[in-house]
Chain A
Amino acid sequence: MKIALAGNPNSGKTTMFNAITGKIEHVGNWSGVTVEKKEGDVKQSLNPRNENLVVVDLPGAYSMSPYTSEESVTRDFVQNEKPDVIINIVDSTNISRSLYFTTQLLELGIPVVIALNKSDLTDKKGNTIDVPALSDALKCPVIVTVSTESTNNGLLELMDAVITLGKSNKKQIPIVEGIKKASTKEEFEKADKKRYAFINNVVTEVERRKVSSEKQTFQDKADRIIAHKWLGIPIFVAIIWLVFSISQTWVGPLFADIFVGWIDMLYESVASLLGEEVNPVVAALLLDGIIGGVGAVIGFLPLIMVLFFCLALLEDSGYMARVAIVLDRFFKKVGLSGRSIIPMIIGTGCGIPGVMATRTIKNERQRRTTAMLTPFMPCGAKLPIIALFAGVFFNDNSWVGTSMYFLGIIVIIISALIVRRITGDYSKSYFIMELPEYRWPSLKRAAISVLMRAKAFIIKAGTIILVCNAVVQILQTFNWQLQVVAENAPETSILASIASPLAVLFIPLGFGLWQFAAAAVTGFIAKENVVGTLAVCFSITNFIDVEELALVGGSAEVSAIFGISAVAALSYLVFNLFTPPCFAAIGAMRSELESSKWLWGAVGFQMGMGYTIAFLVYQVGTLITTGTLGEGFIGGLIAVAIIVGYVAYLMRKGSKSAQISAGMRSVKV
């Protein structure tokens, strides 16, 4: 039996899907978290008769009309794949809004069971819903559910109703007929009028609200401050600073200390097991290449877990949806909207789902621009680089992470402005978002989310990063004659000879060393590789000092080994953050951009942006700190002038074509 979960955005579909199937799909207290359908089997405890039950979680939709692509996923599935039963999840705190979609689902002839979800919140508000009356009015079973609860959640009753209805072969009786019968706009509007009249009658009959909508609730009062157009910004900055402080300075290093102790222990045990008998090249491959390289990356896992735990709490509380509202007006000015912020916030975890989330944006230019700019947000893979450089060069200052986060947003805003000028598309869009209610974030949900990310991080470290570090270790051990390079001549290695020509390009950016060039290149495979490759190239087993309980206790020592200034380190950091993301994220961009012209333009733009920002950071920083310009200024200036000149040319061309098309429109009028 095929069961579809359908409902409005943020009605709790994925939470219910997880509760029914036992899976752990990402949930969020805002709309637009799910953009693709997901499938799973009903777990044994909810399927005592062991039926063949497959549940499909669909993206949220307000109607069966093709407004956005995630709605079309829902519409296409429900209409074309004909599920046996539809579970329509209705947010019981707002049934008047939910029933529009319900009445459309009832028209399809497929049996519908309504899950009146979030009933705990309805009870808390003192509102009541006459469930039997609602069931009579809609001519389908209505089951009260609380999918966030592990017991007494109504899910067993729900599945029982689903199985009974699915086996009965009864056809659903429609309430209003519009989807199937209406063919013109007028007919749709006529049907919609009937639909709204019906909904109003039902809501008046079945719902008793304690709090009238005119009264200001605590939520409204909180939003007046948190989502305020000016106050909202310093609040956002303070919260992100707090998140980075907790994860990178206060709590994260405590866990990192224990974790790195284990990695150290493993390293020492393997080293003593190998002893003196083993060839030093072979021993180095295992110790420095694999254990050291992978360990250097994994050492940052506790910091990342604490950061994601804090972000998961914020997301679950409903705060991040307010961020979209606060930033909307800035994004609107550059041709985007608050809708673009959602993929960017998702992209803070990983760029790939962030880029995929752009498909909820209807306007093509906005969608492509967002997909192109989302990787500028510091994703989880970039966090070890931030943590490493903040620790080594900036005394664990949490402002480094915070400033990189906000620099990412500023770069996105500037880039969006440039892209708008290049495309010559000045169309505007309006952002309407249903704000989720504030709630106490669930520690359990945050912990599950973090454990999933940690599992993913360890898998990545044990696969892509392990292979890359082994290859890097081999390439830096041998020269082109396949002889082991002399200890005092690492620049003769295969790796050095490949990376050195690239390193020349980085002299104006302050890090013209082959090791940094090699690390930047392996970073395109996975950004964590930057840390792993630096560890392998500089033979630093781990970056976290266990003795001193600090992210990088021996920061002076490590920075001396690196041989670059703090300004150059900052430049390297921004270069890695603002150049193109890993290949997997570029692959996701290719899928969402649906145009090779846009894809190559995006990659070129990101490369130019990363190079330009790194050049400015290094040269201006060096001028401020030393009073003179940095090395390679003239060469770098020429390169940046070419980049800026080309972008300016494209912007001019775009503006001209926009003027021409505007002129043609006025002539037509």
Chain B
Amino acid sequence: MSTVDFIVLAIVAALVALAINKIIKDKKKGVKCSGCSGSSGCCESSECSDKQLPN
């Protein structure tokens, strides 16, 4: 394996890691499926899950 191979592997690993990171983040926000339109739990955006409504 040459240095270029390692660079390419690192790129692939980075792409996969970014994708997994996004899936995990979405799960935490209550989105049932990353990229499925209208599949979020509370609302589409990230705002509502951790937002406290003012009393």
Which residues of A approach B to under 8 Å, CB–CB? Answer: 1-2, 23-26, 36, 38-41, 52, 54, 56, 81, 274, 277-279, 282-283, 285-286, 289-290, 346, 349-350, 352-353, 356, 380-381, 452-453, 456-464, 466-467, 470, 526, 582, 584-585, 587-588
Contacts and interface: CB of A to CB of B under 8 A. Distances in A.
Contact of A459 (B22, B32, B38, B45): B22
Contact of B15 (A41, A54, A349, A466): A466
A349 B54 contact: no
Is the contact region of chain A dominated by helix, strand, or loop, or is it mixed? helix
Nearest to A466: B19
A346 B36 CA distance: 13
Interface of B: 1-2, 4-5, 8-9, 11-12, 15-16, 19-20, 22-23, 26, 32-39, 41-45, 47-48, 51, 53-54
13 contacts: A36-B42, A41-B47, A278-B5, A282-B1, A282-B5, A282-B12, A356-B38, A456-B37, A460-B35, A461-B35, A463-B20, A467-B19, A470-B12
- The B contact surface, by secondary structure, is loop
B44 A25 contact: yes
A584 B12 contact: no
Contact of B35 (A26, A38, A279, A458): A458
B43 A26 contact: no
A81 B53 CA distance: 10
A198 to B, nearest CB: 33
A350 B37 contact: yes
B10 to A, nearest CB: 10
B40 to A, nearest CB: 9
B36 A54 contact: no
B35 A463 contact: yes
A283 B4 CA distance: 10
Given A23-B44, A290-B12, A380 B37 contact: yes
Given A277-B2, A279-B1, A352-B39, A463 B12 contact: no
A54 B54 contact: yes
B45 A40 contact: yes
Contact of B32 (A381, A458, A588): A588
A-B complex: 8 closest residue pairs judged by Cβ atoms:
A460-B35, A584-B33, A353-B38, A459-B35, A352-B39, A456-B37, A38-B43, A463-B19
Nearest to B20: A467
B36 to A, nearest CB: 5
A453 B43 CA distance: 16
A587 B2 CA distance: 44
A506 to B, nearest CB: 26
A358 B35 CA distance: 21
B53 to A, nearest CB: 5
Contacts of A286: 8, 11-12
A290 B34 CA distance: 18
Nearest to B8: A282
Given A39-B48, A39-B51, A470-B16, A463 B38 contact: no
Contacts of A462: 19, 22, 35
Contact of A40 (B1, B34, B47): B47
A54 B43 CA distance: 13
B54 A1 contact: yes
A588 B12 contact: no
Contacts of B45: 23, 40
Contacts of A526: 33
Contact of A2 (B8, B16, B38, B54): B54
A38 B49 CA distance: 11
A283 B43 contact: no
Nearest to A452: B37
A526 B44 CA distance: 20
A356 B32 CA distance: 11
Contacts of B42: 36, 38-39
Given A285-B9, A463-B20, 11 more contacts: A39-B47, A41-B47, A54-B54, A278-B4, A282-B1, A282-B12, A349-B37, A456-B37, A463-B19, A584-B33, A588-B39
A632 B26 CA distance: 44
Nearest to A81: B53
Nearest to B43: A38
Q: Could you say which of A56, A81, A282, A461 has the most chain B C-beta atoms within 10 Å of its C-beta?
A: A282
Contact of B36 (A26, A38, A282, A460): A460
Contacts of A460: 33-36
